[in-house]
Amino acid sequence: MRRFAGSCRFVFNKALALQKERHEQGDKKLGYAQLCKQLTQWKLDSSTAWLADTPSQALQQTLKDLERAY
């Protein structure tokens, strides 16, 4: 459970940083579908491949929560 919670928190923070960066550059925020594509890329990246160990539904729900909060 700690690993799942940690993975979700990591995804939330990484996606939030991405949204803030885009906002500072004057770009539109990414929607849920675009964030899911980013999540797929993060899972394929060797430095964050451990995200693939967490069920995708939990990480996708995290992105939905971020979109609602942002």
User: What is the span of the domain harbouring residue 55?
Assistant: 2-69
Single pTM value for the model: 0.91
How many domains are contained in the chain?
A: 1
How high is the pLDDT of residue 63? Answer: 97
pLDDT 10s digits, 9-33: 999 999 999 999 999 999 999 999 9
| pLDDT-derived band at 70, boundaries 50, 70, 90 | confident
**What SS3 class is residue 55?**
coil
